Structure 1
Amino acid sequence: MSHAVVVGVDGSAQSAAAAEWAAYQAHRSGQALRMVHAGGAEPTLSAEPVDRAQSLPRLVLELRDHLADVLPGLEISCEHVPGHPAYALVAAGDRDGLLVLGSRGLGGLAGLLVGSVAQRAAAHAACPVVLVRADTDGGGVESGVVVGVDSARPGTEVLAFAFEQAAERGAKLRVLESRNLPTGRYVTEAPVDPPEITEGLAAGALVRLQDALAPWRKKFPEVRVEAEVTAWPAGRALVEASRSASLVVVGRRTPRIRPAVPGLGAVAHTVLHHTHSPVAVVPHD
């Protein structure tokens, strides 16, 4: 459980969408919203106390006031934090437990949706990082949560985050697993030749996935869960699922030996750059 929802703000349309998403997330979970404007040098030393809000751009302060009007019961703080934006935001998120950032949002499969700061933060943070597009409606109609898993190594942190999000939203959770099956279609559709092999592989994969989800269904009995096994590549399946989702959750494996340059992994990278909905990147062992 995080102490607050941290959102990076810089006055852009992307960060405004991220702030709105973060505000509703904080409101749903009963947490505070911490707006952080990152970058620049340390403030000049002075005998007088420093008011960090004085160094914030006007658009950021207007956004804070707007969110306070929309969600009057929400506790909101707003501050400037010096240093490299990505690392300053990661430090803020790691302290409080959840970081929300805006993505660049060029749209379409040909465009890259994630800027360098957001991508670096998602690759480095020890906490979940949610990336939000500029055209996202943070308080819009709830359309469910999607999570990608591997039933052999489901990732406790990833499933915990996905189930918690679905429970807080009162939404359905769609769990997708990609398997190398002899069909290019979802295995829940009509089987292809040879039907016996396809059906056997599909049934076995779905049973393993259901077994992996059983403890989580018991822990979150209020969450409606839809488990699916697909023959599509994981990244493609999750991108397609994002068309009708309010949030897509993907994992980022944390190596035992910290690499010099942390990476997101192929699936997370694909989803981040081509998604149609906000994406949560959750680090796990």
Structure 2
Amino acid sequence: MTQSVVVGVDGSAESTAAAEWAAQQAHRGGRALRMVHAGGPEAPLSEQPGNPAESLPDVVRALRDRLVDVMPDLEVSCEHVPGSPAHALVAAGEREGLLVLGSRGLGGFAGLLVGSVALQAAAHAGCPVVLVRAGADGGRASGDVVVGVEGGRPCDEVLAFAFAQAAERGAGLRAMESLTLPAGPYVTDAPLAQPQIRVAVAEFELVRLQDALARWREKYPEVEAEAEVTGWPAGRALVEASRSAALVVLGRRTPRLLPAAPRLGATAHTVLHHAHGPVAVVPHG
């Protein structure tokens, strides 16, 4: 259980959307909200004001004040942290266990849906990172939590996060696995090209996925969990599912030998850039 929900704020529309999402997440789980404005050099001690919040941009202080007005029973703190935004935000998130960011901040290019800070955090953080895009047409509060599963073997860390999110929301959960044909000119000769074999493999994968969900259904009996095996590519399937989802949850491998190495694969990049609602990236071993 996280003590606080950490959100990066910089005055952009995306960070505002992230702060609003994080505030709801904190309020729903009975946690505090910690707003972090990162970047820039540290002021000399003689120039630092007595109240750290005074060094915050006006737009960030206004956002903090608005959240306090809307949720008066929510404990909110706001601080400026100098240095690299990605490093500062990841460090803050790892201390608390959850980091929320806007998908693109003030420094991003208009054509990029996910900024460099968000991608760095999602690729390197040792805690779950949720990316929120302003103006997204999905991410409904009443939608299901959708979790992407690779190869019928969902990781405990990923399912634990997804089920906990569904339980907090009183929402259902959809575990989705993609079963697609290999690409290339030889595809018609592949065994899976035969319909009866493809159906049998899909049924086997569905049973395996149902078995993997069984103990989590026991732990969270209030969560109605469904298993789904689709023939669509994983990225496309999850992007489509995000249209009506409250949250899409993805796993991110953390290699044992090089724990700091980024591991955002093609599916994660597709979902992060094109999802219609919030996306959580959960690291696992």
Query: What's the TM-score once normalised by structure 2's chain length?
Result: 0.89
Q: Offset at 1:180?
A: 3.0
Confirm whether residue 263 of structure 1 aligns to residue 263 of structure 2: yes
Q: Structure 1 7/171 Cα, relative in aligned 2: closer, same or farther at 3 Å?
A: same
Confirm whether residue 135 of structure 1 aligns to residue 126 of structure 2: no
Q: Please give the residue correspondences for 1:1-285 in structure 2 after superposition, counting only pairs within 5 Å.
A: 1-46=1-46, 50-104=50-104, 112-136=112-136, 141-180=141-180, 195-258=195-258, 261-285=261-285
Secondary structure at 1:122 match in 2: helix
- Identity among equivalent positions (%) equals 71
Q: In the alignment, is the contact (CA less than 8 A) between 2:40 and 2:82 conserved in 1? A: yes
Structure 2 counterpart of 1:54, one-letter code: E
Gaps of 5+ in 2: 106-110, 183-191
Q: What does the per-residue CA deviation read over 1:168-221, in whole Å, with 9 as the maximum and x for residues that have no partner? A: 000111110112369xxxxxxxxx995532332221111000011111111100
Q: Structure 1 138/74 Cα, relative in aligned 2: closer, same or farther at 3 Å?
A: farther
Q: What does the per-residue CA deviation read over 1:80-116, in whole Å, with 9 as the maximum and x for residues that have no partner? A: 01110111000000011100000139xxxxx531001
Q: What does the per-residue CA deviation read over 1:148-169, in whole Å, with 9 as the maximum and x for residues that have no partner? A: 0125431111100000000000
RMSD (Å) for aligned C-alpha atoms: 2.4
Q: Structure 1 62/224 Cα, relative in aligned 2: closer, same or farther at 3 Å?
A: same
Structure 2 counterpart of 1:31, one-letter code: R
Q: Distance in 2 between matches of 1:146 and 1:140?
A: 12
Q: Offset at 1:234?
A: 1.1
Secondary structure at 2:22 match in 1: helix
Q: Distance in 2 between matches of 1:137 and 1:71?
A: 24
Q: Distance in 2 between matches of 1:204 and 1:61?
A: 54
Q: Structure 1 9/240 Cα, relative in aligned 2: closer, same or farther at 3 Å?
A: same
Q: Offset at 1:258?
A: 1.6
Q: Distance in 1 between matches of 2:16 and 2:138?
A: 10
Q: In the alignment, is the contact (CA less than 8 A) between 1:21 and 1:137 conserved in 2? A: no
Q: Distance in 1 between matches of 2:118 and 2:48?
A: 34
Q: Distance in 2 between matches of 1:48 and 1:264?
A: 39
Q: In the alignment, is the contact (CA less than 8 A) between 1:40 and 1:82 conserved in 2? A: yes
Q: Distance in 2 between matches of 1:37 and 1:137?
A: 27
Q: Distance in 1 between matches of 2:215 and 2:131?
A: 28
Structure 2 counterpart of 1:124, one-letter code: H
Q: Distance in 2 between matches of 1:137 and 1:84?
A: 31
Q: In the alignment, is the contact (CA less than 8 A) between 1:22 and 1:138 conserved in 2? A: no
Q: Distance in 1 between matches of 2:147 and 2:112?
A: 21
Q: Offset at 1:223?
A: 0.2
Q: Structure 1 43/50 Cα, relative in aligned 2: closer, same or farther at 3 Å?
A: farther
Q: In the alignment, is the contact (CA less than 8 A) between 1:238 and 1:248 conserved in 2? A: yes
Query: Please, which moves more after superposition, 11-20 or 132-141?
Result: 132-141
Q: What does the per-residue CA deviation read over 1:45-78, in whole Å, with 9 as the maximum and x for residues that have no partner? A: 2498742101101111111111111111100000
Tell me how many residue pairs correspond in the alignment: 272
Query: What's the TM-score once normalised by structure 1's chain length?
Result: 0.89
Q: In the alignment, is the contact (CA less than 8 A) between 1:181 and 1:202 conserved in 2? A: no
Query: Please, which moves more after superposition, 89-98 or 192-201?
Result: 192-201
Q: Distance in 2 between matches of 1:236 and 1:138?
A: 15
Gaps of 5+ in 1: 106-110, 183-191
